[in-house]
Amino acid sequence: MAKGGNLILIRALSRTPWSQVNELRGLPPSMTRGSARLNRVTARTAMIRRLRSQASRTPILGPSLRRIRRLVEYRGLCRKYGKAFSDDGIGSINVFDRFSFPFCSPDGMYLLQNYRGELHEPGTCAHMIENYAGRPICFIDIGAHLGFFSAFAAHLCPENTVYAFEPNPDSFRVLQKNFELNQIRGDICALALSDEVAKVPFKGRSMKVSADDAEMMVDTDRFDLWCERHAIKADVIKIDVHGSEGKVLFGMQETLRHGNLGLYFEVHPQHLLCDYSLKDVVDLVLDSGFEMAEIAIFRTEKEFRLSPVDTAARHRLIDPDAWTKYQTIHRRMFYCWKPDNTGEEAAATSH
The pLDDT tens digits of the residues spanning 283-304 come to 999 999 999 999 999 999 988 9
Amino acid letter at 321?
Answer: D
CA-nearest of 181, 197, 170, 115 to 148 is: 181
Question: Higher model confidence: residue 43 or residue 339?
Answer: 339
Amino acid letter at 41?
Answer: V
pLDDT of residue 75: 87
CA distance 188 to 166: 8
pLDDT confidence band for 92 (50 / 70 / 90): very high
pLDDT of 325 strictly over 70: yes
Question: Higher model confidence: residue 326 or residue 55?
Answer: 326
Top CATH class of 92-347 equals alpha beta
CA distance 68 to 87: 20
| 213 burial type by CB count under 10 A (0-12 exposed, 13-18 middle, 19+ buried) | exposed
Whether residue 237 contacts residue 140, with contact meaning beta carbons closer than 8 Å, is answered with yes
pLDDT of 42 strictly over 50: no
What is the residue extent of each domain of the chain?
3-87, 92-347
pLDDT of 53 strictly over 90: no
Whether residue 200 contacts residue 172, with contact meaning beta carbons closer than 8 Å, is answered with no
pLDDT confidence band for 48 (50 / 70 / 90): low
Write down the pTM of the prediction.
Answer: 0.80
pLDDT of residue 25: 46
- The arithmetic mean of pLDDT across residues 228-248, rounded, is 97
Mapped onto helix, strand or coil, the DSSP state of residue 107 is: coil
pLDDT confidence band for 330 (50 / 70 / 90): very high
- The arithmetic mean of pLDDT across residues 88-95, rounded, is 96
pLDDT of 2 strictly over 50: no
pLDDT of residue 28: 52
pLDDT of residue 348: 46
Span of 11-25, 78-92, 152-166 with lowest mean pLDDT: 11-25
pLDDT of 180 strictly over 50: yes
CA-nearest of 100, 98, 121 to 265 is: 121
Strands (E), the chain: 90-95, 99-104, 138-142, 161-165, 186-189, 192-193, 198-202, 216-221, 236-239, 262-267, 291-295, 306-308, 332-337
pLDDT confidence band for 344 (50 / 70 / 90): very low
Whether residue 202 contacts residue 105, with contact meaning beta carbons closer than 8 Å, is answered with no
CA-nearest of 207, 107, 200, 191 to 148 is: 107
CA-nearest of 142, 295, 113 to 205 is: 142
